[in-house]
């Protein structure tokens, strides 16, 4: 059962597009047009990532400040996280469970999220969260599964979070095929291939675009190489709420989710409190969707 849109989703979109249109230097009439398109799609029952796709495409076209309105923030967060990289790598390697620590840090990096139109965290505050235990943590199970795998696919999310994804791939004992899938086009502060390259992820994985203009990976929309990699992966690590919304309810045992619960709709669907760091799989039963 897919994640169903809620009236709260529209309120979130309105907050977000208020910020996005301001960044794009667009007038209020364009804001009204963009959110009306979203509302129509939500009323049709489309999931949030798909419901906003038309509006994002139009925003990129109309923007007076370039098609990638978060380019500055993405560059800033990536560069700032890279400055922390060696120290964070040392902390992980000197801990009892280096890979689990890196995965937890990568989960908390999901706080770098512009989708709700809220201010992005300061780097110092973000790094301080890395030692906070996850509310739901199945990273050890994930790592055990990885020992039997030949191919790992990571579905990326935010730029900046990409640096911590690189850290895990840098220190993991997994030596099989590694793929890192990004967004096809700029949308919010999600990472594209060029953003992943900025984080030097190309040193630890083969980068591939999803090829779809949606801020989520939706398997039935994938084509070509992206589909082949997705279908053949033994283990899939889906980062962020967007990818959760795209994959929720599919009951694919290969998929582990890593995200922070940032909205009441996701909280109710997963049964996990707001603000929680989460690393787990989901059963796909819908409604009170149990996590594994």
pLDDT tens-digit readout, 173-224 = 999 999 999 999 999 999 999 999 999 999 999 999 999 999 999 999 999 9
pLDDT attached to residue 292: 73
Could you give the count of Cα atoms lying within 13 Å of 226 in the half-sphere of its Cβ?
19
Find where tokens 């694919």 sit.
Answer: 252
pLDDT attached to residue 287: 46
Q: Which parts of the chain have pLDDT scores under 70?
A: 1-2, 4, 114-118, 284-290
pLDDT attached to residue 283: 74
In contact, 181 and 226? CB cutoff 8 Å: yes
pLDDT attached to residue 257: 98
pLDDT attached to residue 288: 53
pLDDT attached to residue 131: 85
pLDDT attached to residue 116: 64
- Please enumerate in sequence order all residues whose Cβ is within 8 A of that of 281, keeping only pairs 6 or more positions apart, or say none: 138, 253, 255, 256, 257, 291, 292
pLDDT attached to residue 128: 84
Instruction: State how far the Cα of 93 lies from the Cα of 106, in Å rounded to an integer.
Output: 15
pLDDT attached to residue 115: 64
Q: Please state whether 123 falls in left (phi above 0), alpha (psi between -120 and 50) or beta.
A: alpha
């Amino acid at each position: 059962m897919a994640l169903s849109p809620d009236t709260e989703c529209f309120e979130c979109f309105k907050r977000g597009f208020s910020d996005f249109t301001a960044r794009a230097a667009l007038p209020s009439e364009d804001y009204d047009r963009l959110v009306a398109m979203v509302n129509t799609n939500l009323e049709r029952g489309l999931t949030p990532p798909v419901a906003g796709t038309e509006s994002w495409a139009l925003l990129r076209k109309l923007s007076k400040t370039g098609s990638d309105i978060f380019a500055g923030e993405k560059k800033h967060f990536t560069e700032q996280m890279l400055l922390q990289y060696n120290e964070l790598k040392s902390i992980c390697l000197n801990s009892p469970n280096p890979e689990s620590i890196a995965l937890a840090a990568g989960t908390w990096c999901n706080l770098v999220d512009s989708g709700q139109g809220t201010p992005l965290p300061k780097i110092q505050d973000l790094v301080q969260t890395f030692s906070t235990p996850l509310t739901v943590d199945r990273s050890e199970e994930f790592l055990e599964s990885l020992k039997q795998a030949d191919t790992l696919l990571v579905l990326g999310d935010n730029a900046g979070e990409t640096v911590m994804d690189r850290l895990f791939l840098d220190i993991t004992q997994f030596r099989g095929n590694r793929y890192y899938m990004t967004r096809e086009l700029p949308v919010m502060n999600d990472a594209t291939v060029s953003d992943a390259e900025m984080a030097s992820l190309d040193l630890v994985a083969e980068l591939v675009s999803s090829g779809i203009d949606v801020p989520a990976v939706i398997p039935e929309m994938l084509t070509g190489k992206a589909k082949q990699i997705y279908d053949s992966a033994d283990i899939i690590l889906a980062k962020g709420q967007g990818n959760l919304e795209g994959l929720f309810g599919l009951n694919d045992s290969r998929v582990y989710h890593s995200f922070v619960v940032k909205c009441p709709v996701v909280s109710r669907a997963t049964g996990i409190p707001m603000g929680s760091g989460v690393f787990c799989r989901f059963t796909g039963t819908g409604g009170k969707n149990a996590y594994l």
